[in-house]
Amino acid sequence: MSRTILVLGLALGVMAPAASAQSIFSARGFGVPVAPVDARAHALGGIGIGLFGRNASFGNPAELADFSFRGIVATMQNSSREAELDGATAKTGSNRFPLLRVIYPVSPRLTASMGYGSFLDQSWSVAVSGSEVLDGETVTVRDLLSYDGGLAQFRVGVAYAVTPSFAVGIDGGLYTGKVNHTLTRVFLDNAPSGINHVDQSTSWSQQAPLVSAGFRWDPASVLRVAGSVTWAGDLKRSFDDQTSAFTDDRIQMPLQVAAGVSAFLTPGLLGTVSARWSGWSRAADSFSQASGPADTWEYGAGLEWSRASFGGAGIPIRIGYRRAELPFRFEGVTPTEWAATFGIGFQLARTAFGPLGTIDATIDHGRRTATGTGLGESFWRFTVGMGIFGR
């Protein structure tokens, strides 16, 4: 995408409805990664691996072994952004559901799960205004180009507690989604009689298998170590328009390796650090050199104070920080993202096996940049999650 189009994209962001406009960084490759984590993990670094306590995130299937009760966890996220390029600015916003997961302990050692989570967002829009000569008349036109869709992930898995301090897990499923591409030309001044606009649409579905395996180990009562590997097959894109100039194709998806450590620094104070590597460069042959993907690293850290309470309900307080590289480049530059987070939780009807209800909320502020391109984006995000559990 040229710098001119980027400026026009910022202009459209002002006009687009807040619920549908997405990050301008979604305009490259498959878009912007969206972590499939619950609100607690989002507050503690955003990677979601190696956390003491219940962790319903997709980061490590082995950590499901910590659930003694069956239940359901759902997360919703609202975000607002201000994008800028060479002095031009625009504000946009969006709503999404990063995680929905059902958890079912089959036996004291075996826990099963099924869930649906986010992976990549590829929704963006641009507008271009100009003029054309039709039948000797100069006609003012506006071209609207929009992409709507992305990739989500569906997973089914199990975790097995080999011992109280060591568990393994595996899950499998699909990356799946659909993208709608629409080009609309709107005729403004001196429009031809009977013609208001012309639409051209293309859509495609995309799908790839995935398998993830992991472990979690507590070498001491105050220390947890965890790791996971996620393999994905080729992404197959099937174009719905049989007359399209595009053909069905396959693109290699990344191998991902993640690890995390958490420890109680003092009674009630949990600290955690985590990292993830994603091998996006294996898909580079399917993109231009300027926008093609590169291998990326993500890092996260956080603190959780769990001794606060109000009216008999536990109120954990959390802070965190995350820094990440985005996979798809702008003008040969790998964009980066950072975010600082603050979160709070409410634990209801606590039992010896954990609370029967949880409500977690996180607010974070961060920024995305592509150094040297003049393109930047600051954002605020509000994430809220709920968990309901029972025998």
The domain ranges of the chain are 3-390
β-strand partners of 344: 317, 361
Q: What is the pLDDT of residue 143?
A: 83
The 8-class DSSP code of residue 242 comes to T
CATH topology of domain 3-390: Porin (2.40.160)
Q: Nearest-CA neighbor of 69 among 349, 383, 362? A: 349
pLDDT digits (tens, 9 = 90+) for 375-385: 889 999 999 99
Q: Which amino acid is at 119?
A: F
Q: Let me know: does 328 contact 308? Beta carbons within 8 Å.
A: no
Kindly report the number of other CB atoms within 10 A of residue 288's CB atom: 10
Percent of the chain with pLDDT over 70: 88
64: helix, coil or strand?
Answer: helix
In this prediction, residues 70-90 reach a mean pLDDT of 87
Say how far apart CA 111 and CA 158 lie, in whole Å: 6
Phi-psi region of 349 (alpha: psi -120 to 50; beta: other; left: phi over 0): left
Place of tokens 């302990």: 105
In this prediction, residues 336-342 reach a mean pLDDT of 97
Tokens matching residue 199: 């639409």
The pTM of the full predicted model, rounded to 2 decimals, is 0.85
Q: Let me know: does 250 contact 235? Beta carbons within 8 Å.
A: yes
pLDDT digits (tens, 9 = 90+) for 86-126: 777 778 888 889 999 999 999 999 999 999 999 998 887 77
pLDDT band at residue 137, thresholds of 50, 70 and 90?
confident
* 5 vs 256, more confident: 256
Q: Is residue 63 pLDDT above 50, yes or no?
A: yes
Residues shown for the chain: 391
Place of tokens 């400026």: 7
